[in-house]
Amino acid sequence: MSRYLARLNRLVAARKRYPEVARRMGDEGRVVIEALIGSSGTLRGEPTIKKSSGVALLDREALRMVTSAAPFPPLPGAWLLSRLRARFVVDFELP
């Protein structure tokens, strides 16, 4: 399971774009997003924010990252699951 989840996290991370306004303002934070993924890899419903960064721009970017990464690879058949609740932690840190 950990390899599959690591793959999902890589797909989401590849879509990260630090919002320019947030960068200029020096905004940083961590967002935790939860998404329900169907057996075919499609999102089932909208991802939700489980923990906000406190910065709306960063929260919206984290949601966009997860949504744009979908559809994900299908769930491994050996798992015999019809869906998977996945959490994605997105850190926005400036150098």
Which structural domains are found in the chain, ordered by start?
2-92 (3.30.1150.10)
Please name every residue paired with 48 in a beta bridge, in sequence order, or none if there are none: 34
The amino acid occupying position 13 is: A
Residue 28, SS3 per DSSP: coil
pLDDT of residue 7: 97
Residue whose pair of structure tokens reads 């939700």 in the numeric block: 48
Average pLDDT for runs of 10 along the chain of length 95: 93 98 98 97 98 98 98 92 96 97
Which pTM value belongs to this model? 0.94
pLDDT of residue 59: 98
